[in-house]
Structure 1
Amino acid sequence: MKAPTPSLWLIMLLASVIAITPLAIDMYLPAMQTMVTDLNTSMALVQQSLSIYLAAYALGMLLFGPLADMLGRRPLALAGLCGFLLSSIMLSIVSSIESFLVWRAAQAFCGAAATVVIPGIVRHLYQQNTAKGMSYVSMIMMLAPLIAPALGSGIMVLANWQVIFAVLAGYALLLVGLSWRFLPEITRPDDVVKPAFFSGYRQVFANKAAWPDIATSMFASFSFFTFLTAVSFIYISYFGVSEQLFAVLFALNVSALMLANFINSRLVTRQGPQRMLGVGLVLALCCASLLSVFNYLGLGLWYTVLSIAPLMASLGLMATNADAMILMKFPEHSGTATAVIGTLRFGIGALAGPLLGVFYNGTALPFSLLMLAGTMCILVAQLTRFYQLRLQGA
């Protein structure tokens, strides 16, 4: 069966499915304080729901990645979206924090089933131009974290926090209908044997040529999670900006990520994902170094703003191209490869908060140095790739 020609509508659908994760994470953040009162609990437990979501999502990716390779992507995506829909409905009617945490984990687990299949579909549709397809999907998907906090705040003005999860349920219902009608299945040739559950993980981890790209994706995610964890402290507490200006500055960084993916989509077919990744790495090293110097010298807000925005763009550039090169190495195990990438990303991203806490000194310098450290680790990974290629050519 010939793969369908990629269209803008199909790419928008794939991006919309992936967007359930940032929407589920970011939309309810403005409601946390109200939830503490309504559920008669503590802020610590409500905040714990975010960690539970990330953990359940990572666990779901580990399970559903190989299953996508074994069972097919369309049925798994539909099942995951239906589970996400049911969990969101239950979250909108819970009356205790215990029930909220249980259904929050279920929501993340089902969301992983829906989203883990998308990179494999992109790989199938775009073949050698996977990096271009991933750029399109990432660029559109970035609208979700751009609007999610504002959407959650708007709902809280007009209604209660339960409506946030009702809206997520409605969004999932819409995606179920669209996916049932338009989401393609990737058929496996008759002479190709379906992989066993653990064979995909063996294939991925045994391919040493993929290790530098996996490490690149992982440490780009570490830097990104460092930004997400520290950005409210840096802008609001340290530099003293208003909540309105904070929203503008946060949107600026998300816009930089979107711009990077747009540029990548236009250039990567001619330049290749490896060269575009190299451009992103050079830009990241320069911006992370400047950010560290600016914060070491205690310079003002706009020095930080003007160095963070291109740094975030460069992280997006590196992550998108690294992910594309990984998927191109595993055409028969794209679901498993996506699971490995996602699990390592969320796992190392979870270290950002504790490390920021360990090195906290009341300034923006620890944040800057951790961003620089993540970028330096990417440099080491890419130098390792260069060394591997030299050995092969020797």
Structure 2
Amino acid sequence: MHSPIFLNRRTPPKIVTLILLAGLSALTMNIFLPSLPGMAAYFDAPYALMQLSVALYLALSAVLQVLIGPISDRYGRRVVILAALGLFLIATLGTLFAATATQFLICRMAQAVVAAGMVLSRAVVRDMVSDDEAASMIAYVTMGMSLVPMIGPVIGGYVDAAFGWHANFWLLFGLGLLVMALVWADLGETAVTRKISFAAQLRSYPTLLGSRRFLGYAGAAAFSSGCFFAYLGGAPYVGNVVFGLDSKQIGLLFAITALGYTAGNFFAGRFSRRIGINRMVLLGTLITVAGMTTLLGLTLAGLSGPVVFFGLQFSMGLGNGVALPSANAGILSVRPEFAGTASGLGGALQIGGGAGLAALAGALLPPGSTELPLILLMLASSLASVACILLVIRRARALGLGA
């Protein structure tokens, strides 16, 4: 009997497996953020150097997502996910036993291989179901993991306070082991692999990048998620410096966005098949624009404060929860035979663009700044997402595909 790792039959996993797989990827991104000051002291390194553990991780994650997709189209989802999880566990042990800040940063960058979980959980869904059904299922997957990147720093803060910064990475190691065991037991191969070279796979990128529909869906997803990344980059400053809140209060206020995102994902899961992916993306992006426009108006009227600023982020979470599942399903629908490649490229654009907007948010908020530059950046990003999906709808009508 062959080992399960070599199975090539379509054996779709339970949805909880995909939720936990994507959730581990999201948690790894930011659970350790409250530990950065303690880590800087531990390694006797400048705080700015330790902050590179975020930027470098995001940068390598974006690059890896470009490569992971084609590899999974060629060799299959299951083997790539298991290999990525194995490498992630080794890298996590490296962060735990690193003797210098440089060693830690190298291992931290290597942890980015876990991005395979986020990319390929979407590709697995697209392997199994049609476009509109994929949007619905992706919505449920992302609803299950939507709280993770938002409450990750809260969890990390309490773990760090109780046990020190190493405990967060031990937690990631333990969760990685559990997810790997679950994937081994539950996730069979879902892709129909094609015996073509990796170079041939990469040559599909010009095809995807030359597709107006792909660029439209990818742009809508990148600018929608970019609004959230900009918020992540600037909200801690706004909460602490502008409004005088402490870290625990800011962490709790982040939950407002998470609740909005969860509600949006639930709505998308229920209605994507009925409404259609293009209209769902448009609806979600308009919800975000409405919320950011309201926030801008209240701020200019002098009515802003922590309740207004953080409370209206519910609309941003809600809009993203409605739009992103369908945008990601659209990314995968342009060339279904290259679902892994499309998912990786689309994910790279989202993470890369998000990292850039997060950095821009920080640059726009020098000492003495108000929250206004951040609000304007978030509104601009959300308006760009509306423009992108309108281009998709226009192109679909031109091709006779409907709205």
Q: Distance in 2 between matches of 1:249 and 1:119?
A: 29
**Mapping for residues 22-171 of structure 1, pairs under 5 Å:** 22-108=26-112, 110-128=113-131, 129-171=133-175
Maintained 8 Å contact 2:256/2:313: no
The percentage of aligned residue pairs carrying the same residue is 28
Contact 1:22 1:144 (8 Å CA) reproduced: yes
Match of 1:286 among 287, 290, 305: 290
Q: Residues 234 and 52 (structure 1 numbering): CA distance in 2 closer, same or farther, change over 3 Å?
A: same
Among 184, 205, 209, the alignment partner of 1:205 is 209
Q: Which residue of 2 aligns with 1:372?
A: 379
Alignment CA distance shift 1:386-1:183 (3 Å): closer
Normalising by the residue count of structure 2, what TM-score does the alignment of the two structures yield?
A: 0.90
In the alignment, is residue 250 of structure 1 matched against residue 254 of structure 2? yes
User: C-alpha distance in 2, partners of 1:179/1:304?
Assistant: 40
Query: CA separation of 1:338/1:193 partners in 2, compared to 1, >3 Å: closer, same or farther?
Result: same
1:19 is paired with a residue whose SS is helix
Q: When the two structures are aligned, how many residues end up with a matched partner?
A: 388
Deviation at 1:2, TM superposition (A): 7.1
Q: Distance in 1 between matches of 2:311 and 2:223?
A: 22
Specify whether residues 87 and 127 from structure 1 end up closer, same or farther in structure 2 by C-alpha distance, changes over 3 A only. Answer: same
How many Å apart are 1:358 and its aligned residue?
Answer: 4.7
What residue in structure 2 maps to residue 275 of structure 1?
279
- Aligned partners of 2:11 and 2:187 also within 8 Å: no
Identify the range of structure 1 (365-374 vs 304-313) with the bigger mean alpha-carbon deviation.
Answer: 304-313
Letter in 1 for 2:187: L
Structure 1 segments of 4+ aligned residues over 6 angstroms from their partners: none
Cα displacement (A) at 1:308 = 1.7
Runs of at least 5 residues in structure 1 that lack an aligned partner in the other structure: none
Q: Which of these residues, 316, 321, 326, is aligned with residue 311 of structure 1?
A: 316
Residues in 2 aligned to 1:77 and 1:344: alpha-carbon distance in whole angstroms? 21
Shift of 1:300: 3.0
For the 8 Å contact 1:226–1:349, the answer to whether it is kept is: yes
1:354: how far off?
Answer: 4.1
Indicate conservation of the 8 Å contact 2:66/2:348, yes or no: yes
CA separation in 1, counterparts of 2:207 and 2:117? 23
Give 2:179's aligned residue. 175
Describe the SS at the equivalent of 1:377: helix
Q: 1:63 to 1:5 in 2, by over 3 A?
A: closer
TM-superposed deviation, 1:271? 1.5
Q: How does 1:313-352 map to 2 (within 5 A)?
A: 313-352=318-357
Residue number among 384, 391, 394 corresponding to 2:398 in the alignment: 391
Distance 1:145 1:357 in 2: 19
Deviation at 1:11, TM superposition (A): 1.2
Report if the CA contact (8 A) 2:151-2:251 is conserved. no
Cα deviation, residue 380, structure 1: 1.7
Structure 2 equivalent of residue 237 of structure 1: 241
Cα deviation digits, residues 233-259 of structure 1 (max 9, x gap): 222221223433322211111111011
User: 1: distance between equivalents of 2:360 and 2:57?
Assistant: 20
What secondary structure does 1:340 align onto?
Answer: helix
Give how far 1:153 is off: 2.0
Q: TM-score, normalised by structure 1?
A: 0.92
Structure 2 CA distance for aligned equivalents of residues 18 and 174 of structure 1? 13
Worse overlay, 366-375 or 243-252 = 243-252
SS across alignment from 2:97 = coil
Assess if the C-alpha contact under 8 Å between 1:4 and 1:125 holds in 2.
no
* Distance in 1 between residues matched to 2:304 and 2:16, nearest whole Å: 39
Distance 2:161 2:364 in 1: 37
Counterparts of 1:273 and 1:198, CA distance in 2: 27
Task: Summarize the Cα distance change of 1:277–1:151 in structure 2 as closer, same or farther, 3 Å threshold.
Answer: same
Cα offset for 1:274? 1.7
Q: What letter corresponds to residue 219 of structure 2 in structure 1?
A: A
Tell me the amino acid that sits aligned with residue 374 of structure 1.
S
Aligned AA (1:202): P
Contact 1:69/1:194 (8 A) holds in 2:
no
- RMSD (Å) for aligned C-alpha atoms: 2.1
Aligned counterparts of 2:36 and 2:286: Cα–Cα separation in 1: 39
Are the aligned partners of 1:78 and 1:114 in contact in 2 as well (CA < 8 Å)?
A: no
CA shift, 1:138, in A, is 0.3
Find the aligned partners of 1:275 and 1:332 in 2 and give their Cα distance. 24
Cα distance in 2, alignment partners of residues 116 and 219 from structure 1 = 18
8 Å contact kept, 1:93–1:162: no
Instruction: Quote the Cα distance in structure 1 between the aligned partners of 2:390 and 2:268.
Output: 22
